[in-house]
Amino acid sequence: MMADTSSSYGEDLSTTGDEADGGSMMNVMHMMKPGQETAMGPVKSTEIILEPEMLSTLCRLSASRASAHVSALSRAYTTDVATYETRVCDTHKIDPPGTAAELTKDQAFEYLEKMMTIRRMETSAGELYRAKKIRGFCHLYSGQEALCVGMVAGLDMAKDGITTAYRCHGWAYTLGTPVEQVISELLGRASGCSKGKGGSMHMYGDHFYGGNGIVGAQVPIAAGIGLAYKYLDQQGVSVGLYGDGASNQGQCFEAYNIAHLWKIPAIFVCENNKYGMGTSAERSSANTKYYTRGDYLPGMKIDAMDVLAVRNATEYAREYALNEGPIVLEMETYRYHGHSMSDPDTTYREKEEIKDMRSNFDPILGLKAKMIEQGWATEAELKAYEKNIRAEVTKAVKFSEAQPEPPVSSLITDILAGEKMRGVRGCDITLSYDEL
């Protein structure tokens, strides 16, 4: 582990500019040390050198875009940044990504805020369920937060798409749905992200294709979205997430097959949280090396309790999927609660196991420790930070509880996108709600 304690902080280099010009500029820009020889003579103090190739690249850009790039890049080199070693990925038919992961102070706070918000949001959802205010299904994501936060950090969400299963609250939030819309949806309120008609398992958003209740069904959907990206030459990657239990569904293998044949830019992600309902991975899967299950597809196993490992592997996989085609990622994670709220969670795993995971592998505690180690915050400051997040989530719950339920007339809307509904059996769609 090494730390570079530069005096101020700014943006993440990898998010500045588009790939076409910003990306190539990165290759010719160096941090030069005092005394180091350059074509322009020895460097007098630590400074950023723009090499001729980079200067000409900048000239090709419009003046305003060029200056935006320069200021962003310059700021990035005065960022508080630390480098951490992540766990080496086990791999199948592909070289592993590097283990060094950079973390800026800004990124650390961003990831922490997101993970803490999800944790608190899920705790509140559990309380609302126990109070019988949330009805039906409710699958919590506590313990798995580093997965959605790390993956979204490693993707380009202006271009990429995500499809997941029913354990989707954290994904909806990370992909831009405000907490109050997630909670409203769980409570079945009109202010919910699916207008109160989807509930826990059916949340959608920009570049977010659910929220799917049928185990495994999200995998071919993701392959189809990837095919659309390729067909339309959109340079996007489609991510399809499924569980260790879902991984044994035949449709996963059908999706792998067609994705490989057609070189679809897809990342198939097995969220191995060790259980499918009350059945352990060992009892449900003949081969628990989920990253090898794509056979002819390359695969990697990632420590998904570490947000940096997830982000790094995602960046690497995205590049691969765009250029070569599909890849399988096994994200090794853990769920803290039962499968759903109706799962007593006492018959198939030991309390000690959950306790051990919570104390020794928790993604939030792991990131907090790094931030304290770097001197970016004290324990007390992070406690106060968490208290604020808790207050925000409580506000969102209060807001949601005060919202109305969707009107009964909304039962016959939003059935087909962009098209008039052609008729519902047993119901005359030409009648207004009052006439029904």
Ligand X SMILES: Cc1ncc(C[n+]2csc(CCOP(=O)(O)OP(=O)(O)O)c2C)c(N)n1
Binding residues for Mg ion, rule: CB under 5 A, are 243-245, 273, 276
Judged by beta carbon, residue 29 or residue 221, the one nearer ligand X is 221
| Near ligand X in 163-202, by CB under 6 A | 167
Judged by beta carbon, residue 244 or residue 362, the one nearer Mg ion is 244
Task: Say if CB 142 and CB 115 are below 8 A apart.
Answer: no
The region of 149-157, 170-178, 270-278, 383-391 touching ligand X under the rule CB under 6 A is 270-278
- Picked from Mg ion, ligand X, none, the partner binding residue 214 (CB below 5 to 8 A depending on kind) is ligand X
Q: Distance of CA 348 to CAs 135, 209, 275, Å? A: 25, 32, 9
Which residue's CB comes closest to ligand X?
Answer: 243
Nearest in space to 115 (alpha carbons), one of 151, 142, 138? 142
| Near ligand X in 313-372, by CB under 6 A | 339
Which residue's CB comes closest to Mg ion?
Answer: 243
Q: Is 214 in the site for ligand X (CB under 6 A)?
A: yes
Q: How far is CA 132 from the centre of its chain?
A: 29
- Picked from ligand X, Mg ion, none, the partner binding residue 167 (CB below 5 to 8 A depending on kind) is ligand X
Q: Which residues contact 305 (CB under 8 A, 6 or more apart)?
A: 146, 332, 333, 334, 357, 361, 362, 363, 366
Tell me the residue type at 83: T
Judged by beta carbon, residue 194 or residue 212, the one nearer Mg ion is 212
Task: Say if CB 212 and CB 249 are below 8 A apart.
Answer: no
Contact pick of 209, 275, 290, 361 for ligand X (by CB under 6 A): 275
Look at residue 3 and give its three-state secondary structure.
strand
**Shortest reach from residue 245's CB to ligand X, in Å:** 3
Give the Cα separation of 396 and 113 in Å (integer). 16
Q: Is 244 in the site for ligand X (CB under 6 A)?
A: yes
Q: Is 143 in the site for ligand X (CB under 6 A)?
A: no
The region of 11-19, 239-247, 288-296, 360-368 touching ligand X under the rule CB under 6 A is 239-247
For residue 271, what are the β-bridge partners? 243, 331
**Shortest reach from residue 283's CB to ligand X, in Å:** 12
- Picked from ligand X, Mg ion, none, the partner binding residue 178 (CB below 5 to 8 A depending on kind) is none
Q: Distance of CA 46 to CAs 6, 30, 31, Å? A: 11, 11, 7
- DSSP-derived secondary structure for 200-247: TT---BTTB-----STTTHHHHHHHHHHHHHHTT----EEEEEETTGG
Judged by beta carbon, residue 173 or residue 275, the one nearer ligand X is 275
Judged by beta carbon, residue 105 or residue 337, the one nearer ligand X is 337
Residue 427: DSSP 8-state: B
The region of 19-27, 272-280, 285-293, 308-316 touching ligand X under the rule CB under 6 A is 272-280
Q: Is 415 in the site for ligand X (CB under 6 A)?
A: no
Judged by beta carbon, residue 311 or residue 335, the one nearer ligand X is 335
Buried-state track 160-188, b at ≥16 Cβ within 10 A, e below 16: bbbbbbbbbbbbbbbbebebbbbbbbbbb
The region of 99-107, 213-221, 227-235, 299-307 touching ligand X under the rule CB under 6 A is 213-221
**What is the contact surface with ligand X in residues (CB under 6 A)?**
167, 213-215, 242-246, 271, 273, 275-277, 339
